[in-house]
Chain A
Amino acid sequence: MLDRFKKYYPLFFLVLVILASSALMMSAEKINRLVLESRQAPETLALLQQLFTEATFYTYRVDTEIYTLYDSRRHKLGYAMYGEGFGYRGKITVLAGLKDKETIHNIIVINQIEDISYWNMLKNNNFFAQFIGLKIEECYPSFAWLPGGVDAVSGSTISSRGVTNAVRDAILDKLEYLD
């Protein structure tokens, strides 16, 4: 009996360690999820309020990844969705806001790692302002390089294209899901 136990002791020990570690991780994850959930809602709302200042609450559809925003009187303000594009150095993440199915309301850049000098060129040349009120159909078919209403900033074409592609990525596939 004791011999058999000795023989299988390593296996037994390994299983014990795995069980203990799983238990620890599961409890840690439970706490983690609680903290995250309590924080997520106000943070997302703050971000969305940068797009639509009047927004007071939002709904989020997990399957289509579209945020729908409402003001305090429950009027629908518009939609918001994330998109990604590639610039000179890497990924550019954009949150695009749509007023309705046809018009872009505004965009905010969530994350980018472009060179400061290039990024400042975009900022100083009012590149982002071009997206405000841009009609989607205006740029939909010829989105291949840059949309109709948007001019790339000369000297910083690749960053401009990255932002534009991110906006396209955000809205194009999701237009049909907007209600």
Chain B
Amino acid sequence: MAKIKNDNSNKTEEKLIISSAPHLRSKWSVKRTMYLVILALMLPTAAGIYFFGFNAIFVILTSVIAAVATEYLVKLLRKKPFVMDGSAVITGLLLALTLPPTIPLWMAAIGSVFAIAIAKEAFGGLGHNIFNPALAGRAFLQLSFPAQMSVWIAPSGFAPDAVTSASPLSDAFEKIGSNPEIYRELLIGNINGSLGETSALLLLAGGILLIILRVIDWRTPVAFIGATALLSLVLGQDAVYQVLSGGLMIGAFFMATDYVTTPMTRTGKIVFGIGAGILTVTIRLYGGYPEGVCFAILLMNAATPLIERYTQPRPYGLGKK
């Protein structure tokens, strides 16, 4: 890390910063990380396409293309070089995976444009954004089009006739008790819901892949899911159901582990996960929206600087203040 490119300057000014040894060169780069995440996301994407057919393909394509195009345009406007580092693709893909498959395509495109142009680039681009862009896009759509954002179809693959029904979370608390069959369906993903949130098993596989490859840290997802399960149990809910349904899996593995918008310290990651878990259960059970993962993570994003400040590790050899 000896050479750090000054972000505000043009390409002519590269500052050479001499730092103390050891000078390590990592094989990691933004690009490599991003493409590994995309690779892991391919699993739930494939499940979404398998279960929801052409609808899913169109929504994903629209969202990704809109995200990349917006990134290109904004970079042009800001007179900055456009780098195809895959972060825009991830934003578009993650956004599409949290949308209902029946959403009109122009709405998906608006969500992508908001995510990239406002939530990411207006704050200064990759590395400077406060909120997770994909989630900000989803929240924007949820607030703007509440009706279209809560239309769920039963998975029917490529068959043309789709049946509208309530999302499992929205009517879960009264009707469905603990039911092993429901658990199986939730694990596989053969259930109505957002595009890529249904298959808990494949999301778990993708998440574990990223943890093994050391792209993400295990602490956040474990704390997040653990806190959700524990609090649901304490409040007398079906914990397994709460964990497997809704956007918890994708949120815990792919969104709460975003490098930019979540704490860097180890304790901070755990605090972040626990906070998000508590907020998720609270919003799910007592809030106006059936799903709380999106807002929970966004709220914790806002608290990230504070968490980092209080969990800063003490440098070795320096005394307490």
Contact = CB atoms under 8 A, between A and B. Distances in A.
A88 interface: yes
Interface in B144-173: 145-148, 150-151, 166
A88 B287 CA distance: 12
- Name, among B147, B148, B166, B288, the residue most crowded by chain A CB atoms within 10 Å (CB to CB): B147
Interface in B175-215: none
A115 interface: yes
A158 interface: yes
A96 B124 CA distance: 53
A115 B145 CA distance: 9
A117 interface: yes
A118 B288 contact: no
Contacts of A155: 147, 150-151
A158 B151 CA distance: 16
B141 to A, nearest CB: 13
A117 B146 CA distance: 8
Interface string A100-121: 0000000000000001011001
Nearest to A121: B147
Interface residues of A, number: 9
B146 A88 contact: yes
Contacts of A154: 166
A88 B151 CA distance: 17
Contacts of B288: 88, 158
Contacts of B151: 155
B171 to A, nearest CB: 10
A58 B185 CA distance: 62
Given A88-B288, A158-B288, A117 B150 contact: no
A50 B98 CA distance: 45
Interface string B260-301: 000000000000000000000000000010000000000000
Contacts of B150: 155
B118 to A, nearest CB: 21
Nearest to A118: B147
Contacts of A156: 147
A80 to B, nearest CB: 31
Nearest to A158: B288
Interface in A123-160: 154-156, 158
Contacts of A88: 146, 288
Contacts of B148: 117
A117 B288 CA distance: 17
Contacts of A118: 146-147
A79 to B, nearest CB: 34
Nearest to B151: A155
Contacts of B145: 117
Contacts of B146: 88, 115, 117-118
A137 B157 CA distance: 49
A117 B151 CA distance: 12
Nearest to A117: B147
Contacts of A121: 147
A95 B15 CA distance: 70
A122 to B, nearest CB: 12
A72 B288 CA distance: 48
A155 B145 CA distance: 13
A118 B150 CA distance: 12
The 6 A-B residue pairs whose C-beta atoms are closest, nearest first, are: A117-B147, A115-B146, A118-B147, A115-B147, A155-B147, A158-B288
Interface of A: 88, 115, 117-118, 121, 154-156, 158
Given A115-B146, A117-B147, A154-B166, 4 more contacts: A88-B288, A117-B148, A155-B150, A155-B151
16 contacts: A88-B146, A88-B288, A115-B147, A117-B145, A117-B146, A117-B147, A117-B148, A118-B146, A118-B147, A121-B147, A154-B166, A155-B147, A155-B150, A155-B151, A156-B147, A158-B288
Interface of B: 145-148, 150-151, 166, 288
